[in-house]
């Protein structure tokens, strides 16, 4: 990276990675992958018969809110409408909204990225060439093969 810290990093909700980023790159903006959070919504809201409607409304609220106030109002409305005020995950995600909701990053350049999708694609690509038992030597050979060198 040429001795320069990245301007921003997007990860899943791993606290260890977040702590490391804050320690190693204290001036780097760090946010969570909204795609992972919405995927987790499916798991945490699975008990509710309206889960598909809830996820659709949450997605709309997440990506279509133009202001923090609008996001917060819509989130609270969803909570009241589907009686989610007592769901720990729902409350926790609201309390940590500054880490993952795009409207909180409006003034920062993220090149329209809000997920780790690009790196996830690379992970899937390389899984065809390496596995947990691959040695470093074999990894380098497979890496070169994957890149067509």
Confidence of residue 77 (pLDDT cuts 50, 70, 90): very high
Confidence of residue 15 (pLDDT cuts 50, 70, 90): confident
- How far is the C-alpha of 67 from the C-alpha of 79, rounded, in Å? 18
Q: Say whether pLDDT at 61 is over 90.
A: yes
Confidence of residue 58 (pLDDT cuts 50, 70, 90): very high
pLDDT for the residue numbered 74:
97
Q: Which residues of 63-89 are buried (b: 16+ CB within 10 A; e: fewer)?
A: eebeeeeebbebbeebbeebebeebee
- Tokens read off for 1: 């990276």
CA nearest neighbour of 115 among 40, 15, 23: 40
Percentages (nearest 5) of helix, strand, coil residues in the chain: 60, 5, 35
- How far is the C-alpha of 94 from the C-alpha of 43, rounded, in Å? 17
- Tokens read off for 35: 């795609």
Strand partners, 11: 32
Confidence of residue 128 (pLDDT cuts 50, 70, 90): low
- Tokens read off for 129: 């060439």
Element (H, E) at 53: helix 51-64
Residues 6+ apart with CB under 8 A from 149: none
pTM: 0.67
């Amino acid at each position: 990276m040429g001795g320069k810290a990245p301007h921003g990093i997007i990860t899943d909700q791993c606290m260890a990675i977040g702590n490391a980023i804050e320690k190693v790159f204290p001036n780097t903006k760090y946010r969570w992958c909204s795609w992972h959070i919405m995927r987790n919504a499916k798991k945490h809201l699975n008990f509710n018969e309206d889960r598909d409607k809830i996820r659709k409304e949450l997605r709309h609220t997440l990506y279509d809110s133009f202001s923090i106030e609008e996001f917060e109002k819509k989130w609270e409305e969803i909570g009241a409408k589907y009686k989610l005020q007592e769901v720990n995950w729902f409350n926790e995600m609201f309390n940590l909204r500054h880490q993952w909701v795009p409207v909180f990053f409006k003034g920062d350049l993220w090149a329209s990225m809000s997920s780790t999708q690009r790196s996830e694609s690379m992970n899937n690509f390389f899984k065809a060439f390496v596995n947990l038992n691959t040695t470093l030597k074999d990894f380098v050979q497979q890496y070169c093969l994957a890149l067509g060198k």
